[in-house]
Structure 1
Amino acid sequence: MSNEKVRVFDTTLRDGEQSPGVTVTPDQKVQIAIKLDELGVDAIEAGFPIVSAGEMRAIKEIANKGLKAEVCGLARATVADIDAAIKCDLKYVHTFIATSDIHMQYKLKMTPDQVLQRAVRAVEHAKKHGLAVEFSAEDATRSDRAFLLKVFRAVTEAGADRIDIPDTVGYRTPDYMAQIVTEVREATKLPVSVHCHNDFGLAVANAIAGVNAGAACAHVTINGLGERAGNASLEEFVMALGILYNKRHNINTQMIYETSRFVSNTMGIIVQPNKAIIGENAFGHESGIHTHGVINNPLTYEPIAPELVGRKRWLMAGKHAGAHGIRAMLGEFGINPTEDQLHLIVEKQKEIADRGKSISTSELLSIAGEVMHNPQFEEKFKLYDFQIFTGMHTIPTAVIRLSAEGKELIASETGVGPVDAALKAIQKIAGDVASVKIREYRLGSISGGSDAQAEVSVKVEDRNGNVVSAKKANQDIVVASVEAMMDAINKVLLKRVLDSKG
């Protein structure tokens, strides 16, 4: 196999932003670009310059940011689009036109000859202005193969630097991708990229098949964001590439999870819990059989160490949990029950789980505290009071009063809503002692009617990667949220005390 590193072309800021419901500000685009550059991607598709003035402003700022990655802009095969890219100070353009019969007939309403001419003129115009050019034949994998190769040869002669093969609707298989990459490489002698969509769940497999067939580059997105079912996921592609195929790349894998979370929070798209590599459950274990194995040797049920992608392993209480897992969870907090106490703790938490309820870390510790009569659970932070100010013409503001080791502390914060304001105020006031980030916030109801009780679950992570979950119920959503957050922070502090002693 070739020793050359596989090129990672990230299109989170272009194809990823085209995910339904996603819009980011120019400033947010710049911040994401910086994160991607720190992650080590080779190229950043910063956006589609022609779409808006704000898009052009963001792309221009990214282009002039001095990033290590190449910065690219998307352009249809038109002079206007390419000129817009030039105005953004870009040195690299990704230009495209569709080549499949269905696109030419129903979208472009152009003949194959017209498409060919448009493609060549676009490449010539870009090269005349000194741009590096990557040319994509949109819907390449549903195009007539002879016509597709004709277009690729023509743009190669016109000066294109790279050729991209998009599987625009995720329609093809790994075998097909390998075949088409081989033919395009032979026809053009240029570096080939693959751009795979996930409509049949094959995007990563197709991208890897393309690379194994000689493609030099894959277009990917953080968290697999993109149109419809999304694009090939950067984290899955990179980890499979390195671990399963022993191919090299420039990605700092230990930054994968941090980057994933940043993009998820900024773009407002939650990552599914069972998503490979970066899903919350990717390194979580509940089953007694699994936890027993993982405790003895993590490789029994984990293909890679979580630290490799910036994660930590975590164990979950619940119906399937066994004594080994529960003992290990409690041990992380310095709690060592006797065999009889452990048996009772396991049974009590299973009784709750059998009622269809998940068991938070905080609840497990409370059960242990009751069984063991353990004074270790005394709260470090206590809530005195809080007030919320909100209304149609008022920015939601929270004022929180806490005590920490007898000292009263007060903080206020604004937010997008009363819950957001309250949780921000708690994080602010507890910042020096318990610097935590909210990893997950869930709201549910446990009774019906207008007086329904709200059940709030929060999962927080401290700067050391310790993760704690807590759950509270109350008729007032804000009260439930504040109590759950306070409970989670107190349990994080319990863990931190143990870490400091170790």
Structure 2
Amino acid sequence: MDTTLRDGEQTPGVSLTPEQKLEIATALSDIGVNVIEAGSAIASEGEREAIKLISEAGLPAECCTYSRARTGDIDLAVESGADSVHLVIPVSDLHIEKKMGKTRDEVFKMAMETTEYAKERELIVELSGEDASRADQDFLKGLFKAGVEHGADRLCFCDTVGLMTPERVKDYIPKLCFAPLSIHCHNDLGFALPNTVAALGAGASCAHVTVNGLGERAGNTSFEELVMSLEKLYDFRTGIQTEKLYKLSTLVSRLTRVPLATNKPIVGAMAFTHESGIHAHGLMKDSGTYEPMHPETVGRTRRIVLGKHSGSASVQAALTELGYKPNGKQLAEIVKRIKELGDSGIKVSDADVMAIADAVMLLECRPVLSMKQFTVVSGNTVIPTASVTMSVNGEEVTGASTGTGPVDAALKVLQQSVSVGGDITLEDYHVDAITGGTDAVVDVTVKLSRDGRVITSRGARTDIIEASVEAVLSGMNRLLRRENEDRSTDTD
């Protein structure tokens, strides 16, 4: 029984339109859910409209509405076209006395009368004990037994504030199965899933769940986590089309505007994402090494992300997927730069990887020019000045230059320093921040010309000056190397 549209919608800040509820209900029915708690008919006109839309949609799933022990609630359920009512009765003394201001006998009588009233109107009744985990279990047992005698089709044990343990569940549940029994758990202490699994093992025949574990406070038992726990750990076929789980999860997240935790099991962004070099290497040989299930089983795909834990195998795999084929030396340099970014606390995106690969693969293994060192001084009290020491055709050249800014100074001194190899002109300079933030990878593109030949080159670093120097140096090498190759050809 999925209660995303009722208990899940009680998540603070969540409010769904009737049309949105119908869209989610359709997806729930399509994936294989048996019962959909579409809302609470007493809550509002919009709720009644949503229940009516769902009940008239011809879905295979049963359409259920939440109901208090009041005949007026039952009448509205009938008017809305619901198939069943989730008839919730407070059963702990705390709820009976403090919330209701009544006695056990009064609540007991209300439960029986409302159950009969609903059955007379041909509704399926699931009689639910609210705060059952804190109730006198003998009182709960008597109420459930009498409820079945008065026509209740199903029963439900509610751990309303998440205080049960699997051990207590196994003790309580077998004594209450006078009819098909549901388990309804909240996740306040993180026990919703294990308590639900324990209840199913102890005799409960139905679980109440919400997509993404939505619900008040810490939420309810997560639909996708329960389904895959039963399927994978207990080899139990739930009848749910698991390959549609991720699509359903993202639909609910989008419509409720409740984002998924990145580390959430099954549907979180990191559930099938790997960075560690050891893990990535193992996955490439056999995905079972570091994954409990194939991501496709739940409608996902595997992702290899890069960072300081990445090894050459995972970087190579990512580059291949992006269409790059670096040689060994280029791959080593790309890995080195990715690790440097990771060590700086930066998340390395695909765009970052592409920018780094483009920059590295334009550098030649035997450059005409190579940088020994460069220094840039800039500030509001000094003229931006850059100095470099380079190797030009094997000869060491040192130079310095000023500019309108640190980048301008750096590029001018580069041009001056390579004049021994031929004049090279900077035709165009363009910079992009690949990702947002002050620590973004900077992608610099330059256009250089010499003797009528024009080439474009790129550099990618987190430092704009380093990226600019790299782009210009790479382009100069290509121009000068091309000339050397031409001369070699002429000699031949």
| TM-score normalised according to structure 2 size | 0.74
- Of the three residues 241, 245, 252, the one matched with 1:252 is 241
Q: Does 1:307 align with 2:296?
A: yes
Correspondence 1:318 to 2:310: no
What residue in structure 2 maps to residue 483 of structure 1? Answer: none
What secondary structure, in the 3-state scheme, does the structure 1 residue paired with 2:114 have?
helix
Aligned CA distance change for structure 1 residues 11 and 472 (closer, same or farther; 3 Å) = farther
Identity %: 46
Contact 1:42 1:250 in 2 (8 A): no
Q: How is 1:89-128 mapped onto 2 (pairs within 5 angstroms)?
A: 89-128=81-120
**Cα deviations across residues 243-280 of structure 1 (Å, max 9, x unaligned)?**
11111212100000000000000000000000000001
**Distance in 1 of aligned mates of 2:240 and 2:329:** 49
Deviations 1:352-384 (A, max 9, x none): 22222111111011101111129xxxxxxxxxx
Residue 149 of structure 2 is matched in structure 1 by 157
Unaligned runs of 5+ in 2: 364-434, 443-459, 463-492
Q: 2:75 aligns with which of 64, 70, 83?
A: 83
**Letter aligned with residue 77 of structure 1:** A
**Larger-Rg structure:** 2
Cross-structure match for 1:213: 202
- Paired with 1:78 and 1:124, the residues of 2 have a C-alpha distance of 11
SS in 2 for 1:195: strand
Q: Following TM superposition, where does structure 1 have runs of at least 4 consecutive aligned residues deviating by more than 2 angstroms?
A: 443-447
**SS at structure 2 position matched to 1:208:** helix
The aligned residue for residue 360 of structure 1 is 349
CA distance in 2, matches of 1:193, 1:61: 26
Which of 32, 35, 41 matches 1:40?
Answer: 32
Which residue number corresponds to residue 11 of structure 1?
3
AA partner of residue 96 (structure 2) = M
1:305-335 per-residue CA deviation (whole Å, 9 max, x = no partner) reads: 0000000000001111111111111111221
Rounded Cα–Cα distance in structure 2 between residues aligned with 1:246 and 1:162: 26
Determine the structure 2 residue equivalent to 1:347: 336
Residues 1:351 and 1:19: Cα distance change in structure 2 (over 3 Å): same
Query: Residues 233 and 472 of structure 1: is their aligned pair in 2 closer, same or farther, counting only changes over 3 Å?
Result: farther
Partner deviation per Cα, 1:176-229 (whole Å, 9 max, x = no partner) = 1122110101xx2x1011001101111111111111111110000100001110
Cα distance in structure 1, aligned partners of 2:158 and 2:436: 41
- Identify the match of residue 297 of structure 1 among 273, 286, 289: 286
By how many angstroms is 1:34 displaced? Answer: 0.7
Instruction: Work out the CA distance in 1 between the residues paired with 2:25 and 2:242.
Output: 17
Q: Is the 8 A contact 1:15 1:226 kept in 2?
A: yes
Does the residue aligned with 1:10 lie in a helix, a strand or coil?
coil
- Matched AA of 1:71: C
1:57 matched to which residue of 2?
49
Q: Which residue of 2 aligns with 1:421?
A: none
The residue aligned with 2:136 is 144
Q: Could you tell me which of 65, 84, 102 is aligned with 1:73?
A: 65
Determine if the alignment matches structure 1 residue 272 to structure 2 residue 264.
Answer: no
- Tell me, in whole angstroms, the C-alpha distance in 1 between the residues paired with 2:362 and 2:254: 40
Q: Partners in 2 of 1:74 and 1:55 — Cα distance?
A: 11
Q: Which has the higher contact order (CA 8 A, sep 6+)?
A: 1
Match of 1:202 in 2: 191
Give SS of 1:27's match: helix
Partner of 1:332: 321
Cα separation, 1, equivalents of 2:217 and 2:461: 36
Q: TM-score, normalised by structure 1?
A: 0.72
